[in-house]
Amino acid sequence: MKVLLLSHSVPFPPNSGYPIVVYNTVKGLLGCGAEITLFSLNNSKQYVDVDDIYDPLFEAIDFHSFTIDIEVNVWDAFTNIFSNQSYNVSRYFDYDAEKVLENLLREQEFDIVQFEGLFVVPYLDIVKQYSKAKLIYRAHHIEHDVWERLALRERFTPRRTYLEFLSRRLKAYEMEQVNRFHEVFAISEPDRQKLLLLGCQTRLEVFPVALDFEKYQIDTTKTSFPTLFHLGAMDWRPNKEGLEWFLDEIWPDIEELSGELRFYIAGKNMQKQFFNYDSDNLIVEGEVFDAVDFINSKAIMIVPLLSGSGMRVKIIEGMAMQKCIIATTMAAEGIDCKHGRDILIADTADEFYRSILKCITQPNKWREIGENARRTAEKHHEINGSAKRMYNIYLELLAAKEDPLSA
């Protein structure tokens, strides 16, 4: 079976949420015997030097990429207001990239073309024109939901108005596109329900984040305690917003609990403001070379998201590494976990304070929650089972006599 995956960034190395999901999808499908071609938009925000990729998985696929500038342009953003397009999405479209994809489709025939996220959907028309493959849309997020929630929390009226505008455009685009595929994959059950509310009438399945658990080796002898940590890309606005709230509203009181307590924050594109916080016990590491080693070395994971959509990959990774995770309801949305069993839910400053206090005064509690978290992650997020189910859906689509898009 020949499968073409389209991604809006290069998933090598798999060092943040979206690349991890795409990378593990490729790995799992290869394990099922699929022949994989990957076409990636090598966008300016997450640019990767392809010549520096050294990964056996990279060598096992037919890889194509196109470098594209997606930086926000004030004039383009302004003129976009008077169009009927979503600026969030249109920044990822380039006629030269479309031509490269067209040539690829002319040269090869594919059984399945899978669009990894909304930002590659602008290339759907060219795929339909030059391929008879079954078409799948993988919704990594409900994109308009992210911006809608950001707008709700924005206090500066002009900025809130613009965020609301972006959200409406994104919602209209998602509603327009979702039924143009043979199959849609949601990343969580809440997202599946939202897609149904958007009017999704095509086949719809849930595929949570999948991990290769061989990569997540736990060594408790290297875990320092008491330590808190946060890990996330700071170029994603919900991460930045949530961490600012935690540092401003919660950390000053937490820091006074113990002179030995340390809070480590790491992630790519770390904003300058985080290095300027006045706190002796806050350690800002920026981007780390090995995220798994970083997670292993710390005890308690803090995920204070106040907005967002989809499924937080870093929480699944934290669960895989047997971490006690303290997260907001928003952060844990869509993950099969239960407060007090395999995660601690905290939505207010007081709840975070009480949860952290419990963990550092009752070490057995955070260890127990971490052990339960690992078992839960293994049950719901194992790569091979997920890939086999996805591959079987491909087979069902190919065996169907009637084309759902023309029905």
- What pLDDT, on a 0 to 100 scale, did the predictor assign at position 144? 81
- What span, in angstroms and rounded, lies between the C-alpha atoms of 270 and 235? 8
Question: Residue 91's closest CA among 64, 122, 50?
Answer: 122
Tell me the CB-side half-sphere exposure of residue 312, using CA atoms within 13 A.
31
Show the CA angle centred on residue 115, arms to residues 112 and 73, nearest 5°. 155
Residues 239-264 have pLDDT tens digits of 999 999 999 999 999 998 888 899 99
- What span, in angstroms and rounded, lies between the C-alpha atoms of 292 and 306? 25
- What span, in angstroms and rounded, lies between the C-alpha atoms of 148 and 159? 12
- What span, in angstroms and rounded, lies between the C-alpha atoms of 39 and 67? 11
> What is the pLDDT tens value at each position of the chain, 407 positions in all?
999 999 999 999 998 889 999 999 999 999 999 999 999 999 998 899 999 999 999 999 999 999 999 887 765 665 666 666 776 788 999 999 999 999 999 999 999 999 999 999 999 999 999 999 999 999 998 888 877 777 777 777 887 887 788 888 888 989 999 999 999 999 999 999 999 999 999 999 999 999 999 999 999 999 999 999 999 988 888 899 999 999 999 999 999 888 889 999 999 889 889 998 888 899 999 889 899 999 999 999 999 998 876 789 999 999 999 999 999 999 999 999 999 999 999 999 999 999 999 999 988 888 999 999 999 999 999 999 999 999 999 999 999 866 656 44
Q: 64: which strand partners? A: 39
Q: If you search the block for the tokens 């505008």, which residue do you land on? A: 165
Backbone φ, ψ for residue 203 (5° rounding): -60, 140
Write the CA distances from 77 to 46, 153, 154, 346, 357, integer angstroms: 20, 22, 19, 37, 46
- What span, in angstroms and rounded, lies between the C-alpha atoms of 340 and 47? 40
Question: Residue 335's closest CA among 209, 193, 165, 232?
Answer: 209
CA torsion sign, 237 to 234 to 229 to 297?
A: positive
Environment class of 155 (CB within 10 Å of its CB; exposed 0-12, middle 13-18, buried 19+) = exposed
* Token duo for residue 124: 């759907």
Tell me the CB-side half-sphere exposure of residue 257, using CA atoms within 13 A.
22
Q: 227: which strand partners? A: 262
3-state secondary structure of 345: strand
- What span, in angstroms and rounded, lies between the C-alpha atoms of 291 and 314? 10
Distance of CA 216 to the CA centre of its chain: 18
3-state secondary structure of 221: helix
Residues 107-124 have pLDDT tens digits of 999 999 999 999 999 999
Environment class of 276 (CB within 10 Å of its CB; exposed 0-12, middle 13-18, buried 19+) = exposed
- What span, in angstroms and rounded, lies between the C-alpha atoms of 273 and 325? 25
Give the end-to-end CA distance of the chain in Å, rounded to a whole number. 24
Residue 242 CB partners (closer than 8 Å, separation 6+): 303, 304, 305, 306, 307, 328, 331
Residue 89 CB partners (closer than 8 Å, separation 6+): 118, 119, 121, 122, 170, 173
